[in-house]
Structure 1
Amino acid sequence: MEMSARQWDSVRRDVAASGERFAGLVESAAPGRRATRHWSVADTAAHVATLTHLDVGLVGGPPGAAFAFPDAHEQWRRTTVDQVDVLNTLVMRSFPERDPRTLAARIRADVAAMLDATRHLDPSAPVPWLGSSTLTLAGLLAHIVNEFHIHGRDVARAARLPHVVPPAEAATFFEVFFVGLVRDGYGHLLDTAKPLPDVRVTVEFRSAYTRPVTLLLDHDVVSVAEPGTRPDARIAYDPVVFNLMLFGRVGPVRAVLSGGIRVGGHRPWLLPAFMRKVRCPS
């Protein structure tokens, strides 16, 4: 995806804004409250802090920062979506800090370092990433914005605090990160041990905040379809609801009933087979 200087600046502003919102939530919430099934607020903040620390290394920060967790490096290289929890466990064991204010300060510092390091870089520059995949710099920043959003919601719900995500901010996850990942090479990340139906499925995705794009699943390989390809299914989505659904925070039925996801097309029943391949950790 060609990215203009204006779009690049927008993604960078999103990192700063979403990172500050997340850090503020961490400072406001009781650290021992349960934020997810397995993590407290403090654990959730620590997880996000490990991601920002890794990202600083990946974009050219202090030497060695990207490999600050050597016990997890091999798992990082070969992980799949279904093994992200294993990777998280390895990393969290190497990162004992759980003080909310310390974690919030570290996240703010990492965000500042990330933005400083990328200020004059090409947003389309390739970055080696999880599961031997490849991201662009813009995709890497879009990913951390989504982490601030998803885990910010977890912390806010635990603390019973408001958490509002601008849809335009949320939209970069699918358009810039996920579609870019498919285009540039997802490596082992979408591999699955479960057998997939041998089908060819095309799905068009569109929202008010993104350019329409059609993805193709053909013989277990996902790619960006050629312009003009007729989709089997169409998904019109609110970016905030869509991202929450992808990461298991909102169920598909609720997403549809809320109007955040609308499904159409002449063969929408093929969507379940498609989504068994095109998936995110939840």
Structure 2
Amino acid sequence: MGDVTRFDAVAEHERTRAALRAVVLRLVRLLGDVPDLEAASGVPVWTVGDVGAHLAGVHFAYSAGFTEGAVEWDALLPAGGGSFSERIAAVNATSIGLFGGEERTCIGEFIAERSEMFLRVTEGLPPDTPVDAPWLGLKPSLTLAAATGLMLSETLVHGLDIARGAGLPWTIGPDEASLVLGQSMPTMMPLGLDAEKARGVSLAFDLVIKGGPRLAVVVENGAATVTRDAPPRAYDCRITAEPVAFLLVSFRRMPVWKAITYGRMRAGGRRPWLAMRLGKLIDSP
């Protein structure tokens, strides 16, 4: 079965907080260097400015639950709750309209302010502190660890989208990617499961991130669970991947064939051909 990576939840959460603070500073510098906010970004139909506005919305949403009155999420989300994809699409559409025209030149300052506010008011709180996230359809909440990991993932990945559109450099380090995968994937992968495609499916994946977390991804009866440090069990397929490659493939920023061709991801175990099914069963965030 191989060794299982053990982790200290508190220490990893603190590293994630430090990484978020550092990546936001890099993002602010990147936004300040963007020559044209109307240029196409790495996200189809979104401009560089749209991606920046979306990121501002992300940092506002996560900090709002700790710093001010309740947001009227019912007015922003699809009637009846909607699917995971519908909720995300609705909030994304709202977020890019938060800043317009000349206001977009101040997006970096806003993100820095809201991110620092989030980090300040959550300092010293346990990683399992509840954080409301109605846009994800979670009842009652995320953990603080997952929320911090999600903020880091959004900043890293959308920083790449902005850089690609602006023709500027942007790096995602393996330690940063590993923190995202360990902190946020156990929450986000089950949420992104396509229940229709998963109907009648029974599969277990051993996801081994080099130098990072090891996750047991189990799809059973139209639901998924993702567990760190899972007890030994039989798996249908083992996926071994470099952290940055798996992050980019998960967010559809790198085609899986490219990660495989360059030796950054490989499948093994009893039924290695099932590795391709994981990406078809779980939508990107």
Deviation at 1:83, TM superposition (A): 5.0
Given the alignment of the two structures, is residue 22 of structure 1 paired with residue 24 of structure 2, yes or no? Answer: no
Q: How does 1:187-198 map to 2 (within 5 A)?
A: 189-190=191-192, 192=194, 194-196=196-198, 198=200
Q: Residue 78 of structure 2 contacts residue 90 of structure 2 at CA under 8 Å; is this kept in 1?
A: no
Range moving further from structure 2, 19-28 or 195-204: 195-204
- Report what 1:118 is aligned to: 122
- Report what 1:7 is aligned to: 12
Given the alignment of the two structures, is residue 34 of structure 1 paired with residue 36 of structure 2, yes or no? Answer: no
CA distance in 2, matches of 1:70, 1:94: 17
Could you list the per-position Cα deviations for residues 95-125 of structure 1 after superposition, in whole angstroms to 9, with x for gaps in the alignment?
A: 5466443100000001110110110211111
Given the alignment of the two structures, is residue 255 of structure 1 paired with residue 259 of structure 2, yes or no? Answer: yes
- Report what 1:221 is aligned to: 223
**TM norm structure 1:** 0.87
Given the alignment of the two structures, is residue 147 of structure 1 paired with residue 154 of structure 2, yes or no? Answer: yes
Secondary structure of the 2:96 match is helix
Range moving further from structure 2, 155-164 or 73-82: 73-82
Q: Residue 72 of structure 1 contacts residue 91 of structure 1 at CA under 8 Å; is this kept in 2?
A: no
Q: Between Structure 1 and Structure 2, how many residues are aligned? A: 273
CA distance in 2, matches of 1:3, 1:79: 34
Range moving further from structure 2, 11-20 or 205-214: 205-214
Q: Residue 46 of structure 1 contacts residue 97 of structure 1 at CA under 8 Å; is this kept in 2?
A: no
Q: Residue 84 of structure 2 contacts residue 137 of structure 2 at CA under 8 Å; is this kept in 1?
A: yes
Change (3 A) 1:172 1:76: farther
Change (3 A) 1:8 1:71: same
Secondary structure of the 2:92 match is helix
Amino acid at match of 1:38: V
CA distance in 2, matches of 1:141, 1:216: 24
- Report what 1:173 is aligned to: 180
Q: Residue 196 of structure 1 contacts residue 273 of structure 1 at CA under 8 Å; is this kept in 2?
A: no
Deviation at 1:52, TM superposition (A): 0.2
Change (3 A) 1:263 1:75: farther
Deviation at 1:196, TM superposition (A): 3.4
Amino acid at match of 2:19: D
Q: Residue 42 of structure 1 contacts residue 99 of structure 1 at CA under 8 Å; is this kept in 2?
A: no
- Report what 2:57 is aligned to: 50
Tell me the C-alpha RMSD between the 2 structures: 2.5
Runs of 4+ in structure 1 off by over 6 angstroms are none
Q: Residue 136 of structure 1 contacts residue 180 of structure 1 at CA under 8 Å; is this kept in 2?
A: no
Deviation at 1:74, TM superposition (A): 5.0
Given the alignment of the two structures, is residue 201 of structure 1 paired with residue 203 of structure 2, yes or no? Answer: yes
Could you list the per-position Cα deviations for residues 164-189 of structure 1 after superposition, in whole angstroms to 9, with x for gaps in the alignment?
A: 1111111122211111456xxx5xx3
CA distance in 2, matches of 1:12, 1:145: 8
Q: Residue 37 of structure 2 contacts residue 49 of structure 2 at CA under 8 Å; is this kept in 1?
A: yes
List runs of 5+ in structure 2 lacking aligned partners.
1-5
List runs of 5+ in structure 1 lacking aligned partners.
none
**TM norm structure 2:** 0.86
Q: Residue 23 of structure 1 contacts residue 104 of structure 1 at CA under 8 Å; is this kept in 2?
A: yes
